[in-house]
């Protein structure tokens, strides 16, 4: 008997079951109690999710070990769990209330996006697993933009189905990162129709990516945004959603990033992925609790 596989299945079942229970509770509690409920889930999760807590603290030590105290790092980790809980609750609650969702999330520097779209080549929204990015996609769709997101398939198909239904409700197209050829073809097609494609490049990409500096450490990073921009002439626009103290949120568009030519095709990719990664790091440094520290970002190493 493979106890490791059994534990994984039990963990995924618990995650799915917990999501179902939370979605039922959300329907019963008033909106005023929503974030108090999220705070309770976060406190419980930080205590019992030992593996995820350890990964978060280790990741924070890599990023901020020379800059922040142990107490500061632990506070960011706890805030990270709080923000993840809030985001999960919001996805379940706000996607069923489109008027409230629109009221809760504002757009900043939208003209940067509109200028890029006016070129007619599509826009690659370069971002990260930062803030409540599922709501970012839904809110952009509400504004009338045709939007798709490149997503890794979730390990639990039951949870995947729930979130796909949420995206489909807002006409957000899902482009799965695998199989690769299908992902590439669907992304190029979407960009050639002058639409938006959301691509997060903040997770470990193994040997298939390029290694760039991220918090002073080499991190394996996806090359998709630069390669797609080269092939389609689509614009690269960094985009992030940031929570405010009152739990309203702001979608911020950064100025378009122009591709810079390097001495070789490979160097061109590395140079531009580094530029995009620098923007992501800037946002994480400014709003550290917004990022998903429970991911092993530096797992892959240069050989």
The burial of 24, by beta-carbon neighbours within 10 Å (0-12 exposed, 13-18 middle, 19 or more buried), is given as exposed
pLDDT at 267: 97
Q: Is the pLDDT of residue 15 over 70?
A: no
Domain count along the chain: 1
Cα separations (Å) of 227 from 123, 127, 259, 302?
13, 16, 10, 22
User: Which residue in 175, 196, 200 sits closest to 186, CA to CA?
Assistant: 175
Average pLDDT over residues 40-69: 95
Residues 6+ apart with CB under 8 A from 65: 73
Q: Is residue 299 part of a domain?
A: no
H/E stretch holding 151? strand 147-151
pLDDT digits 0-9 by tens, 132-149: 999 999 999 999 999 999
In a domain, 196, yes or no: yes
Give 174 or 15, the one with higher predicted confidence. 174
| Whether residue 65 has pLDDT greater than 70 | yes
Cis peptide before 179 (omega within 30 of 0): yes
- The whole-number pLDDT of residue 154 equals 81
**Residue 97 contacts residue 169 (beta carbons within 8 Å):** no
Distance CA 190, CA 196 (A): 7
pLDDT band at 6 (very low <50, low <70, confident <90, very high): low
> Is there a domain that residue 152 lies in?
yes
At 236, phi and psi to the nearest 5? -105, 115
Q: Which structural domain range is residue 256 located in?
A: 3-290
Tell me what pLDDT residue 25 has.
80
161 domain residue, yes or no: yes
Confirm whether 298 is domain-assigned: no
Question: Is 70 a member of any domain?
Answer: yes
Is the confidence at residue 183, as pLDDT, over 60? yes
What integer is the mean pLDDT of 27-50?
91
**CA 129, CA 203: separation in Å to the nearest integer?**
8
pLDDT (tens digit per residue) in 204-233: 999 889 999 999 999 999 999 999 999 999
Is position 301 within any domain? no
Provide the pLDDT for residue 1.
47
Q: What is the model's pTM?
A: 0.93
What distance in Å separates the CA atoms of residue 183 and residue 27, rounded to the nearest whole number? 36
Q: Does some domain include residue 300?
A: no
| Main-chain phi, psi angles of 149, to 5 degrees | -130, 135
User: Which of 291, 284, 288, 253 has its CA nearest to residue 106?
Assistant: 253
């Amino acid at each position: 008997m493979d106890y490791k596989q059994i534990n994984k299945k039990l963990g995924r079942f618990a995650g799915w079951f917990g999501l179902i229970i939370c979605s039922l509770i959300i329907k019963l509690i008033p909106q005023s109690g929503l974030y108090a409920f999220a705070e309770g889930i976060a406190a419980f999760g930080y205590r019992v999710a030992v593996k995820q807590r350890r990964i978060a603290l280790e990741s924070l030590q890599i990023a901020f070990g020379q800059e922040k105290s142990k107490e500061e790092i632990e506070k960011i980790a706890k805030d990270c769990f709080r923000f993840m809980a809030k985001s999960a609750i919001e996805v379940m609650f706000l996607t069923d209330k489109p008027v409230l969702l629109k009221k809760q999330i504002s757009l900043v520097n939208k003209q940067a996006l509109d200028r890029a779209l006016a070129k007619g080549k599509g826009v690659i929204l370069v971002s990260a697993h930062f803030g409540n990015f599922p709501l970012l996609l839904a809110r952009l769709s509400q504004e009338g933009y045709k939007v798709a997101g490149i997503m890794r398939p979730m390990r639990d198909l039951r949870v995947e189905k729930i979130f796909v239904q949420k995206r489909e409700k807002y006409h957000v197209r899902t482009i799965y990162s695998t199989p690769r050829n299908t992902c590439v073809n669907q992304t190029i097609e979407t960009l050639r129709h002058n639409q938006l494609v959301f691509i997060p490049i903040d997770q470990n990409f193994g040997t298939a990516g390029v290694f760039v500096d991220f918090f002073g450490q080499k991190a394996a990073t996806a090359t998709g945004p630069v390669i797609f921009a080269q092939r389609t002439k689509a614009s690269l626009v960094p985009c992030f959603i940031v929570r405010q103290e009152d739990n309203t949120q702001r979608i911020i568009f950064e100025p378009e990033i122009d591709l810079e030519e390097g001495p070789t095709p490979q160097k061109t990719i590395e140079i531009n992925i580094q530029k995009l990664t620098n923007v992501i790091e800037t946002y994480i440094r400014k709003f550290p609790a917004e990022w998903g520290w429970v991911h092993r970002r530096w797992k892959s190493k240069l050989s």
